[in-house]
Amino acid sequence: MEKFVRIEYVGQTFSSKKGDFVALRDINLNIRKGEFISLIGHSGCGKSTLLNLIAGITAPTTGVLLCAEKEIKGPGPDRAVVFQNHSLLPWLTCFQNVYLAVERVFSATESAGQLRARTAAALILVGLRDAQHKLPKEISGGMKQRVGIARALAIEPKVLLLDEPFGALDSLTRAHLQDELLRIVASTATTAIMVTHDVDEAVLLSDRIVMLTNGPAATIGEVLQVNLARPRNRLALLDDPEYALYRAAVLGFLHQRHRSPETINDASGVLHADSEQAQLLIDTAS
């Protein structure tokens, strides 16, 4: 389905004592079923605000959002969110944290045995079979994030929403979980939308990278198609000239948007930079 998630002329304005604050304006984006999308941009550009709109946590001031041709009017089990903070209940085991979500969604149609089987399968999928009976305080930060991912996947969402899920982790743990996410999304064919500040993460994981302009009143500046073959191997990609071009294109856009408005040029040309230009952008922007 070419238009599985549709975002049409969406804007978001927040009211405050100092007046209205326009966070997003004229957001238009169609997302295909099974596609992995990354939202990237400087802090304050409204990435998490847009994710919250897709999740139904907040309602848009203008425009409409649809999932599978149904208008998004609030949170629902068809859209599961994984936050940077794992948000686990500390008095429940890993199994119980996942089971709680499964029970809420499927208790009316499935037996207790089926609910337990669904929970166990989700924990096995993220590699936590041996930690299922441990409390959150007994496992690492990376394992807690895996529980959060398992909880989200266990309810079989149509769309998996990830708000910087690896942002608080060390680089080695982050790399391992990125590889795990690649494997999980490939095996489940889940549509995924992720907020990130990490350029390499965006290029590694994404089918398209949506780059937002600086806020306030942020909008989509560029959309970069990432045509790297799947499955992807991070070590092999390090020497791939196409990977360097994609990375340079995103860095070029972010570098342009970081400068003062009067010095910003159209960043679209960066997307067609040759390898020599890309290497220069990497050297100057890294």
Q: What is the DSSP secondary-structure string of 105-162?
A: HHTTTS-HHHHHHHHHHHHHHTT-GGGTTS-GGGS-HHHHHHHHHHHHHHT--SEEEE
Q: Are 209 and 250 in contact (CB under 8 A)?
A: yes
- Is 258 contained in some domain? yes
Q: What is the pLDDT of residue 1?
A: 58
| CB neighbour class for 96 (10 Å; exposed up to 12, middle 13-18, buried from 19) | middle
- Is 261 contained in some domain? yes
- Is 133 contained in some domain? no
Give the structural domain span for 34. 5-78+157-285
- Is 115 contained in some domain? no
pTM, two decimal places: 0.86
Q: How many domains does one find in the chain? A: 1
pLDDT tens, N- to C-terminus, the chain (286 residues): 578 999 999 999 999 888 899 999 999 999 999 999 999 999 889 999 999 999 999 999 999 999 999 999 999 999 999 988 878 999 999 999 999 999 999 999 999 999 999 999 999 999 999 999 999 999 999 999 999 999 999 999 999 999 998 887 888 888 989 998 998 888 888 999 999 999 999 999 999 999 999 989 999 999 999 999 999 999 999 899 999 999 999 999 998 865 434 334 443 443 434 334 444 444 444 4
- Is 149 contained in some domain? no
Whichever domain contains 29, its CATH number is 3.40.50.300
- For the four alpha carbons of 209, 268, 9 and 41, in that order, the dihedral sign comes to positive
- Is 221 contained in some domain? yes
- Is 174 contained in some domain? yes
3-state secondary structure of 243: helix
- Is 93 contained in some domain? no
